[in-house]
Amino acid sequence: MNVQSTIEAESSRQSLQQDSQQVEHFDVLIVGAGISGIGAAYHLIHQCPGTSFAVLEAQDSFGGTWWTHRYPGIRSDSDLYTFGYRFKPWTGPPIATAAEILKYMREVITENDLDRYIRYHHRILGANWSDTDKLWTIVAERTDTGEHLRFTANFFWMCQGYYRHAEGYTPEWPEMSAFKGRIVHPQKWPEDLDYKDKRVIVIGSGATAATLVPNIADDCAHVTMLQRSPTYFRVGRNAIEIADELRRLQVDESWIHEIVRRKILYEQDAFTRKTFTDPEGAKKDLMAGVVAYLGPDFDIKTHFTPRYRPWQQRIAFIPDGDLFRSIKAGKASVVTDEIERFTETGLLLKSGKTLDADIIVTATGFNLSATGDIAFSIDGKPLDFADTVTYRGMMFTGVPNLVWIFGYFRASWTLRVDMVADFVCNLLKHMQTTGARKVTVALRSEDEDMPLLDWIDPENFNPGYMMRSAHLLPKRGDKPEWQHSQDYWAERDQFKAIDLTDAAFVYE
């Protein structure tokens, strides 16, 4: 916990103890108005009409990730047929800009009259469960006025994403302060940043770097993408033939949405399986896309041949090969090396080579924040999620009436939003029918000897932000019920078969 969150935790605990303020009550309180929180709100009004709820969002608008990130070219790397909700057809090209995603989300909000449930500028600081009252008490701070507000809720639905929106992750390199130019993190892209005719180094080669480089390359004097080690990229057209064909035939958009989703998911399933059963074959398929743009003479071995198995980290999609076209045109280049230290004029690399720059962009990732920096407690006792075991990556042993949405990394995040929402709505209806006021998940007698492991198996998926913070996350078991397997295709069937009367659910 950093100093800021310690202060927030303390102030929220103090606020929780003051009972003089007015308290507003809801059946359900949703944290965050990103793609998850807006999806949660949609499903509540459609599947559980009459439920009172509010969405508390720290920022001044909806969108989450797509509102926070403002760097040039910001776009999805999933197709919007599956990153879009199952209930709202996507009608554009599959890869979308942040602005297009926000427009789609605005339509969902307007069409379903969701504005009246969302409260912006409300950052949740603390949440305490009272077993006597069977309620969560939530303290939020108005980010515009500094005022502290209190809410109570029967059910707490965490749609807070997985990283800290306030700041990105920048490693500490020696002598960073010596650099006379500007250092920028893409998560806080300065509006006034003038990169025209400037020499820019982008540190990193994940999806953000791969998006940024081609989008600024034409304006800059030169852009260098500096990576410690190579990443996999998938190259393809930003178009889906079958969608275009069905549109030509004037097929209804809701049909097109469903058909294209099924086709994409079928193909993704086949490719994901191949990365496990035939990793070398999958690697070859991915690399062929890169070679097609850069040609056989390019040093693919050094710069584009990763050391890990495909899909152990996210694979960035490069629409129409734009990154490789910038490299081929000489506007951008890639250097595979490590930083020894910053200098006045740029970077000294471990190889002894120097890179000069006017601007250095640290596309080095996120700070994981799985619980939205909320100080949780149960009957006043601080709760550490690392001491809990997860039920299917959405509930936690010993934590009553709380679900969080943690999506997929290999498939679109939003697929899990719709699935978790079905689960929550079924659970709420079940509790209403049976008169239960509290539900907690608990290991069953047959789970007693189950090994408790880190949230995610590093052999399966191991990006830096997960590995840096694995110790902060809940534990997983080795059975499907007690883990988030990141396998959409298995979970799609498992979720439908969840038995709410199973002994893993304890009701009061």
Ligand X SMILES: Cc1cc2nc3c(=O)[nH]c(=O)nc-3n(C[C@H](O)[C@H](O)[C@H](O)COP(=O)(O)OP(=O)(O)OC[C@H]3O[C@@H](n4cnc5c(N)ncnc54)[C@H](O)[C@@H]3O)c2cc1C
Select from 74-82, 256-264, 279-287, 300-308 the region that touches ligand X (CB under 6 A). 74-82
User: Which one among 9, 33, 127, 421 touches ligand X, defined by CB under 6 A?
Assistant: 33
Site for ligand X in 145-164 (CB under 6 A): 159-161
DSSP string, 23-59: EEEEEEEEE--SHHHHHHHHHHHHHSTT--EEEE-SS
Is 332 one of the binding residues for ligand X (CB under 6 A)? no
Cα 377 off chain centre by: 25
Site string for ligand X, 106-125 (x = CB under 6 A): -----------------xx-
Cβ distance 214 to 73 under 8 Å?
Answer: yes
Select from 32-40, 107-115, 376-384, 428-436 the region that touches ligand X (CB under 6 A). 32-40
Site string for ligand X, 79-98 (x = CB under 6 A): ----x---------------
Site for ligand X in 199-218 (CB under 6 A): 207-208
Shortest CA distance to 82 belongs to which of 407, 412, 422?
Answer: 412
Select from 77-85, 127-135, 237-245, 429-437 the region that touches ligand X (CB under 6 A). 77-85
Site for ligand X in 41-60 (CB under 6 A): 56-59
| Smallest gap from residue 55 Cβ to ligand X (A) | 9
Cα separation, 83 vs 66, in Å, equals: 12
**Closer to ligand X by Cβ: residue 80 or 294:** 80
Select from 26-34, 127-135, 255-263, 355-363 the region that touches ligand X (CB under 6 A). 26-34
Beta strands in 145-285 (DSSP E): 148-158, 182-184, 199-203, 222-227, 233-236
Size of the site for ligand X (CB under 6 A): 33
Cβ distance 189 to 70 under 8 Å?
Answer: yes
| Smallest gap from residue 278 Cβ to ligand X (A) | 25
**Bridge-based pairing state of the strands 182-184 and 359-362:** parallel
Cβ distance 26 to 157 under 8 Å?
Answer: no
User: Which one among 374, 395, 402, 421 touches ligand X, defined by CB under 6 A?
Assistant: 374
User: How many other β-carbons are positioned within 10 Å of the β-carbon of residue 268?
Assistant: 18
Is 126 one of the binding residues for ligand X (CB under 6 A)? no
What is the rounded end-to-end Cα distance, in angstroms, of the chain? 33
User: Which one among 165, 261, 410, 484 touches ligand X, defined by CB under 6 A?
Assistant: 165
Q: Classify residue 450 by its DSSP letter.
A: P
| Smallest gap from residue 449 Cβ to ligand X (A) | 34
Select from 69-77, 285-293, 332-340, 394-402 the region that touches ligand X (CB under 6 A). 69-77
Cβ distance 140 to 148 under 8 Å?
Answer: yes
Q: Which amino acid is at 75?
A: R
Is 168 one of the binding residues for ligand X (CB under 6 A)? no
**Bridge-based pairing state of the strands 135-142 and 122-130:** antiparallel
Is 419 one of the binding residues for ligand X (CB under 6 A)? no
Which three-class secondary structure state does DSSP give residue 354? Answer: strand
Is 370 one of the binding residues for ligand X (CB under 6 A)? no
Judged by the rule CB under 6 A, the positions of this chain that interact with ligand X are 31-37, 56-59, 64-65, 69, 76-78, 83, 123-124, 159-161, 165, 207-208, 372-374, 405, 407, 412-413
